[in-house]
Amino acid sequence: MKLELKGICKTYKDQVILDNLNICVNSGDIHVLQGKSGSGKTTILSITAGLIKQDKGLVIIGNQDVSNWPPEKRRIGFVFQDYALFPHLSVFENIAYGLKVQGLNKNKIIDKVRFYLNKVNIENEKDKFPHQLSGGQKQRVALARTLITKPEILLMDEPVSNLDSFTKDKIIREFQKIQQELRITVVYVTHNKKEAVLLGSTFSFLNKGKIEHQLKR
């Protein structure tokens, strides 16, 4: 699904966070956002997801203006840097959570969770709890929990920055394969140039809330 941000502006306490920002991500592409800390990258994701409201501008998914829609109506998945898993739920239950909220029947939930456990290579950890998992396993659970609800747009905020380099490379390549299979549109925030080059179809470089330049592979 195509994503467009048009003329997005955001100010906090007289500080300009985003200044007339324009981004277009074609369906099935991975758009990488790069820039220094505080340049507005996470704010872009939060506005896209509907977690915070822009002061001006439009968020368009497909041909639909979703600028004033609540997060739950936007069909957007969000993978966070800190995983954001439910500590009291098992791996299986974490992944199933979104489907339970949607009211899917038990047998369909079981089938779908099994599919995504296999997709992210954590079927052997399904009964474990988050505190029993490695960082890489936690990120796989977070990814599966997001993908299982079939979002039209996937937002990823430095999802592998807390992992060691070996695990990071492995997760990135696994995600790349999954993204190519599902053809999901992704906005991916990273400070890591290697990640950006491996994953990105298009790129925006931010500085003080403005896009300095954009590139296309």
Counted residue by residue, the chain has a size of: 217
Tokens 């041909």, residue?
Answer: 63
Pull the structure tokens for residue 119.
């997709």
CB atoms within 10 A of CB 50: 19
What pLDDT is attached to residue 60? 98
What pLDDT is attached to residue 83? 80
Domains of the chain from N-terminus onward: 1-75+155-217 (3.40.50.300), 82-150 (no CATH)
Buried b / exposed e along 187-198 (16+ C-beta atoms within 10 A): bbbbebeebbeb
Which residues make beta-bridge pairs with 214? 204
pLDDT by position in tens, the chain (length 217): 999 999 999 999 889 999 999 999 999 999 999 998 889 999 999 999 999 999 999 999 999 999 999 999 999 999 988 888 999 999 999 999 999 988 899 999 999 999 999 999 999 999 999 999 999 999 999 999 999 999 999 999 998 888 888 888 888 988 999 999 999 999 999 988 888 998 999 999 999 999 999 999 8
What pLDDT is attached to residue 99? 92
DSSP string, 11-47: EETTEEEEEEEEEEE-TT-EEEEEE-TTSSHHHHHHH
Between the alpha carbon of residue 216 and those of residues 30, 32, 138, 194, the distances in Å are: 11, 10, 32, 16
Q: Which contacts of 195-198 are long-range, i.e. CB under 8 A and separated by 24 or more positions?
A: 195/32, 195/160, 195/168, 196/32, 196/34, 198/172, 198/173
- Say which residues have a Cβ less than 8 Å from residue 197's Cβ, sequence separation at least 6: none
Pull the structure tokens for residue 106.
């038990």
Which residues make beta-bridge pairs with 206? 35, 211
